[in-house]
Amino acid sequence: MSQLVARTALRALLVRVGGNCNIVVMPVSAASVVKSSEEITKQPMRIHGFGDFEIESKHVQGNFNLKWRRMSSAMENKDENKEENPTVETVKKGQNGGDSVAVPSYWGIEKAKMKITRKDGSDWPWNSFKPWETYHADLSIDLKKHHVPKNIADKIAYWTVKLLRIPTDMFFQRRYGCRAMMLETVAAVPGMVGGMLLHLKSIRRFEHSGGWIKALLEEAENERMHLMTMMELVKPVWHERLLVMLVQGVFFNCFFICYVVSPRLAHRIVGYLEEEAIHSYTEFLKDIDDGKIENVAAPAIAIDYWRLPKDAKLKDVVTVIRADEAHHRDVNHFASDIRNQGKELREAPAPIGYH
């Protein structure tokens, strides 16, 4: 009689819930089926699936022990769609990131992002660099240092750079804002190429780089920040943008081949390029002092990156950039000297954080 009651209750439950269900009934004896109302209240029926929930005794007619698993295809599809279409949050970016964009939060990246503020409590607006990556430029560095060419490789590097300066002078003349912008699009290439090739060499030979990968990538990032700063001051026209694309494409491939063939020559070329950069920024400062170029307010990105005073001017920005170029000059001439001695870069400590 109790088995008949159990079957009747199962049919009633199926009709009430609906859908396709796989039901597992635990075989029990007639004695164990009949339970007191207190036991049923203490141990309600549990459904296992996408979320456990309890069914009280009022949902069934008769007393019986039942375990069932609901495998509704509709619920599966709903959960799959949930994963494929994660919730979207709007992330507002500052001046460095453009307009607000929708970022998927399914992976938890944005939720895990810490809130960064300035010392005055205002939000940190830059995604491209963090406060601990900013620094005070070392303005005491000697700007007049020059590596005198000593061998054939040095002379090739020196005269290559001098020849490259001729078309640059003809095109830009004394438009040092545009000149600096073009210079930085080229200057940011060598560090990236050198760091990339040393990275590949390190993992290919299973050996450390001595910190030179990080040092060269720091140089590339620093040069890129120079460009981001200049972009706030100089708005290139279409033909200048086209020239940047052509020059960058040609220079990247030429420098890549040069570094593969002779890292010593490649670093020497960069050292001389930085010497020319120092000269260009010195002329830039002269025109500012002479009033030929307006000494406008420094961009916000420059103030935060170099920790400049809030009332900093263009002259302050050009001064710290020139100091950076002097440091890059020293690093690359140093790297070339190491190679000149027949040693690998990893054999000498890399000047990480040398600004």
Q: How does pLDDT run across 48-74, given as a tens digit for each residue?
A: 433 433 334 444 444 444 444 444 444
**Is 90 exceeded by the pLDDT of residue 195?**
yes
Domain boundaries, the chain: 2-77, 152-347
The pLDDT confidence band at residue 241, using thresholds 50, 70 and 90, is confident
The pLDDT confidence band at residue 183, using thresholds 50, 70 and 90, is confident
Q: Quick one: tokens of 22? A: 């796989």
Coil, strand, or helix at residue 126?
Answer: coil
Confidence at residue 113, expressed as pLDDT on a 0 to 100 scale: 58
- pTM higher than the cut 0.85: no
| Residue 297 φ then ψ, to 5° | -65, 145
Residues 293, 284: Cα–Cα separation, whole Å = 8
Residues 167, 161: Cα–Cα separation, whole Å = 11
3-state helix, strand, coil in the chain (%, to 5): 55, 5, 35
The percentage of residues in the chain with a pLDDT greater than 70, rounded to a whole number, is 68
| Measured CA distances, 252 to 160, 247, 280 (Å) | 15, 8, 22
Residue 181's region, left for phi above 0, alpha for psi from -120 to 50, else beta, is alpha
Confidence at residue 55, expressed as pLDDT on a 0 to 100 scale: 36
Closest CA relative to residue 184, chosen from 95, 122, 276, 93 = 276
Q: What is the dihedral of CA 120, 124, 129, 133, to 10 degrees?
A: 20
Confidence at residue 96, expressed as pLDDT on a 0 to 100 scale: 54
Classify residue 130 as exposed, middle or buried by CB count within 10 Å of its CB (0-12, 13-18, 19+): exposed
Please state which of the ranges 60-74, 132-146, 216-230 shows the lowest mean pLDDT.
60-74
Please state which of the ranges 146-160, 174-188, 214-228, 309-323 shows the lowest mean pLDDT.
174-188
The pLDDT confidence band at residue 202, using thresholds 50, 70 and 90, is very high
**Rounded CA Rg of the chain:** 34
Q: What is the DSSP letter of 296?
A: P
Closest CA relative to residue 224, chosen from 161, 117, 301, 152 = 301
The pLDDT confidence band at residue 6, using thresholds 50, 70 and 90, is low
pLDDT digits (tens, 9 = 90+) for 286-307: 999 999 989 999 999 999 999 9
Confidence at residue 261, expressed as pLDDT on a 0 to 100 scale: 96
Q: Is the pLDDT higher at 334 or at 239?
A: 334
Q: Is the pLDDT higher at 148 or at 39?
A: 148
The pLDDT confidence band at residue 337, using thresholds 50, 70 and 90, is very high
Closest CA relative to residue 323, chosen from 178, 190, 140 = 140
Under 8 Å between Cβ of 340 and 264: yes
* 88-91 and 101-104 beta bridge pairing: antiparallel
Half-sphere exposure for 122 (CA within 13 Å, toward CB): 5
Please state which of the ranges 229-233, 263-267, 308-312, 318-322 shows the lowest mean pLDDT.
229-233
Q: What is the dihedral of CA 237, 239, 245, 249, to 10 degrees?
A: -150
Confidence at residue 122, expressed as pLDDT on a 0 to 100 scale: 86
Query: Given 3.30.70.141, 3.50.50.60, 1.20.1260.140, 3.40.50.1860, which CATH number is that of 152-347?
Result: 1.20.1260.140
